[in-house]
Copies of this chain bind each other. A is one copy, B any other.
Amino acid sequence: MAETSDRSNRFLRALRREPVDATPVWIMRQAGRYLPEYRATRERAGSFLALAQTPELACEVTLQPVERFELDAAILFSDILTVPDAMGLGLHFVEGEGPKFHRPLRNPTDIAKLGVPDPEQSLRYVTDALRLVRRELRGRVPLIGFAGSPWTLACYMIEGEGSRDFARVKAFALNEPAAMHALLDVNARAVAAYLAAQAAAGAQALMVFDSWGGMLAPAMFEEFSARYLAQIAALLHDDPHARDVPLILFSKGANASLEVLADTGCMALGIDWTITLDEARCRVGDRVALQGNLDPATLLASPEVIRREVRRVLDDFGPHPGHVFNLGHGITPNVDPDHVAVLVGAVHSTGANKNS
C-alpha cells in the first residue's frame, strides 16, 4: 500500500484510520515526574499550579519528552480541572493528596450560579501555552489539547476532592437528577468552549479524560457521562476551529459501554489495559480509531519484557489502520526513562511493516 507518513503526521493519520509507516505512539502524562528535567522545571516553578499556569514553563515541560524520545505527539502540560477552577471553585493541590476545591458544590443553588467561562479570559494561560508550544514545535509533531469530562469534573466539584468510591456524587446524581443534569450541561458547554478555544489556539487533536466514568453502572454511565460527551462532540462539530480537529474520548474503566462511546461522534477512543484491543476493535468496528493500551506497570519490567508486551498489544490490535499506541493509563513517577525509550523504539520497529 503506497503511503507517506513520518513523525509529523503519523498520529493524525492513524486517528483518521489512514495507513501509516509505523504505529504512532505517545504516552499519557509523558510530561511528568519520571523525567529528571521535568522535576527540575517543577522545582523552579515552585508548585504544580504555577507550572501549569505559567505558559513558558508549561511549554518547557510539554516539549521535554518530545525532545528526549521519538514520540509522535505532544500533549500540553495542564490539568483536567482547569474549567471548574475558572468557574470559581478554587483549585488547589495538597502535596501527596491530589487536587481539591476550596468551594465545592453542596446543593442545587450552588449549581444554578455556575456559568460558562470565557476561555480567552479566565483560561488564557492555557491558550497562550498552546500558541507557544505550537511555535516551538515547528511542525515536528502534532499538539494535543485536553479537558476533563463533564462527569469527571462533576465528581471533583461535588466531592471537593478525589475519592475512593465517589459515593457522594453518585448519591447526588440519584437523589437530585435535575440538578445533576443542570451541572453536567453547564460543564459540557464550558468544556466545549474551552476545547474550541484550544483548537483556535493551535491544538491539532483534542482529548477528553473521563477518568471516573468507569465508576458508574452502565445505565448511569449513559445518562450521566456518555450523553454529555456526545453533547461536546456535537458542539465541537458546529465550531469553525474545532470542526476538523480529531476528538479522542477516554472513559477509563467504562469497557461495558464502548459501543455507546463509539456513537458519541468522536474520532477515537482511549482504551485501558483491562480489555484486549482485539475485543475493543471487534465491538466498535470501523467507527473509531483506538488509542492504547499497555498496562503502565509493564514499564517497571525489563526491556525484554517491555518489548514482548508491546508486541502483544500491537498483535492484539492486528493489521488494521486506526491504532495509536499508548499506555492504558498515565505513566507512573517511578519509571526509568530508558524504559520509555525501549517502548517507543519497540512500537516503531514492530509497527514498521504492519501496513506496508
Listed in ascending order, the chain A residues whose CB lies under 8 Å from chain B are: 165-168, 170-171, 174-175, 214-220, 253-256, 273-276, 279, 295-298, 300-302, 305, 309, 312, 328, 332, 334
Contact = CB atoms under 8 A, between A and B. Distances in A.
A108 to B, nearest CB: 15
Given A256-B279, A279-B256, A171 B274 contact: no
Contact of A312 (B166, B219, B297, B309): B219
29 contacts: A165-B296, A165-B297, A165-B332, A167-B296, A167-B297, A167-B332, A167-B334, A170-B298, A171-B297, A171-B301, A174-B298, A174-B300, A174-B301, A174-B302, A175-B302, A216-B295, A217-B295, A218-B274, A218-B275, A218-B279, A219-B276, A219-B312, A220-B295, A253-B253, A253-B274, A255-B256, A255-B274, A256-B276, A256-B279
Instruction: Output the residue of A170, A296, A297, A298 with the most chain B CB within 10 A.
Output: A297
Nearest to A293: B217
Contacts of A168: 300
A328 to B, nearest CB: 8
A332 B305 CA distance: 39
Q: Which of A170, A217, A276 has the most CB of B within 10 A?
A: A217
Nearest to A174: B301
A253 B215 CA distance: 11
Q: 7 tightest A-B contacts by CB?
A: A171-B300, A170-B297, A174-B301, A167-B297, A256-B275, A217-B273, A174-B305
A334 B275 CA distance: 32
Contact of A295 (B170, B275, B312): B170
A309 B276 contact: no
Contacts of A256: 255, 274-276, 279
Contacts of A170: 295, 297-298, 300
